[in-house]
Each structure stands twice: as C-alpha cells, then as structure tokens.
Amino acid sequence: MKDVAFNEYLEQVIEQLPRGAFLNTRYKDKTNTMTIGWGTIGIIWGKPIFMVAVRYSRYTYDLIDKSGEFTVSIPLKDNLKKELGFCGSRSGRDYDKFKECGLTLTEGRTVNVPIINECQLHYECKVVYKQSMEPGTLDQSIKDVCYRTGDYHVIYFGEITACYMTE
C-alpha cells in the first residue's frame, strides 16, 4: 500500500465515480458494500471530506448510521463492471455480495471497515456530520428525476482519515 494525498487522484475519481465505486461499511459482524455513482471530495471545516449519499431504504444506511465509518474503494482499471452492477442492484440483506462477486477484503487501517482488494484507490472515512435531505428545499426537476418514489438520501460527510493505492 502506498499512501497518497486525498486529492492526488481527484481527476480519476471524478471520471470513475459516475461509472461506479464501492461504498463499504461494517457494524458489529455485518459487512456490506454498495455501488455509488454520486459523491464529492473537498475541504470542509479545514478537513478533507468525502461526501456520500445513501438512501434510507438501503441496507448500507442501517450499517453506516450505526457504525459512523465507511470506506470507498475505487476501481481505476475499469475492470469491475459486472461486480459494480451486481452490488448496485442487490441488497446485502439478501446476498453476501463479496462472496457472490469473488471480492476479497483487507481490514481498514484507521477505521473498522474493510477495503476491496480488487480496487486500486481507497479512502477511509469517519462520519463527522450527516444530513437528511429536506425535500421541500430540493429543486423540482431533481425530485422528478431522482426521487419519484420519495426515497431520499442521507448525506454523510466522512473525514478522510487515510487514502492509499494498492497494486
């Protein structure tokens, strides 16, 4: 593992994120991943922050809300399309996504959440703030496209506690 600055691969993250990345979390003996296509990295409160959005209906919501930690594993080689598709369309309540996809885990260094070995870039994060979306303040055009069923997100602000590349 090679430590890198949280913003060193920002261009690659922005390019890959709409195609998918793995949001991982764990609470007690339950570990899960889900595919994300939205998120942002920046500086808030003088800290490097990775913001992720998780819908209330997702199994990941239950785990991350209790644990207060997550990792984001980003495939930079465009090599995990099938796995991203599976993890984005199945619930961890019903499947062991890691087993189903043949994904292997390594424990996080600063959080109690693993990373996915098959990815090259990893962010470890501790939740420092969370905010439920306020539907009344959301632009109607976004509501019409992204929230037709009323299943809104909670936005988690994760302080980046480690960022590194794996071979």
Residue 127 confidence (pLDDT): 98
Range of the domain at 62: 2-165
- pLDDT by residue, tens only, the chain of 167 residues: 999 999 999 999 999 999 999 999 999 999 999 999 999 999 999 999 999 999 999 999 999 999 999 999 999 997 899 999 999 998 889 999 999 999 999 999 999 999 999 999 999 999 999 999 999 999 999 999 999 999 999 999 999 999 999 97
DSSP state letter for 67: H
Q: How many CB atoms lie within 10 A of CB 71?
A: 31
Beta strand ranges found along the chain (DSSP E): 2-3, 21-27, 30-36, 40-44, 47-55, 69-74, 105-106, 115-116, 121-132, 153-165
* Spatial contact of 74 and 41, defined as CB atoms under 8 Å apart: no
The tally of domains found in the chain comes to 1
For Cα atoms 21, 138, 46, give the angle at the middle one, nearest 5 degrees. 60
* Spatial contact of 33 and 24, defined as CB atoms under 8 Å apart: yes
Q: What is the pLDDT of residues 106-135, one digit of tens each?
A: 999 999 999 999 999 999 999 999 999 999
Is the pTM higher than 0.75? The answer reads yes
User: Which residues, in sequence order, are bridge partners of residue 73?
Assistant: 22, 122
> 43: domain CATH number?
2.30.110.10
Residue 167 confidence (pLDDT): 73
For Cα atoms 96, 102, 105, give the angle at the middle one, nearest 5 degrees. 80
Residue 87 confidence (pLDDT): 94
